[in-house]
A = this chain, B = another copy of it.
């Protein structure tokens, strides 16, 4: 029984680690694309830097929020899965 229970935690660990990594990767790329446009804009038109920075921050925050969702799900998988209690008790209950 314990071998299967450990399989469950292995799946949690894999999904948490790789899932967050994938989300962070592409959200990072997305922020890089937005950042690129902002930096180009500021360099071309320095006096618009206030508005550009505000717009950029709104967008970066929304992209960040997507990554936060993945972070939250990863932490749920590590710390707060509803069946984790029951399954963990199988480990000690041989």
Contacts and interface: CB of A to CB of B under 8 A. Distances in A.
Interface string A81-94: 11110111011101
Chain A at the B interface: SS class: helix
Contact of A49 (B22, B55, B81): B55
Contact of A24 (B2, B23, B31): B23
B55 A56 contact: yes
Interface residues of A, number: 84
A66 B17 CA distance: 13
Contact of A32 (B11, B34, B65, B90): B34
Q: Which of A30, A51, A82 has the most CB of B within 10 A?
A: A30
A45 B55 CA distance: 13
